[in-house]
Amino acid sequence: MTKTLEQMFEALRVATGNHSNAARKLGISVVRYRSYRNGHANIPILVREYILLKGKEILSLSGYIGHDSTSNPKSQNTLETVSYADDSCM
């Protein structure tokens, strides 16, 4: 799991109240979301991109402001970046 995806999971938890609500907002089953989040299942590339893009939309609609977005202007861009360096299927 990439650092940016971990950040998205945490930001969604904060913005929606808990991980179950985040999964529902994304339209992903709570069990599948949990297995992705905990690293127990490989996340397909398209699902990873969907979580990052849809998550960004959910965060903007909720008015979420990241904890370090004021201190580090680059932190807002990290949620848009997808790193495939850790994919074992490549």
pLDDT tens digits along 32-66: 999 999 999 999 999 999 999 999 888 888 887 76
- Cβ neighbours, 10 Å, residue 37: 22
Phi-psi map region of 63: left, alpha, beta (phi>0 left; psi -120 to 50 alpha): left
Number of helices and strands in the chain (H, E): 5, 0
Question: Is the CB of residue 52 less than 8 Å from the CB of residue 45?
Answer: no
Dump pLDDT digits (tens) for 14-32.
Answer: 999 999 999 999 999 999 9
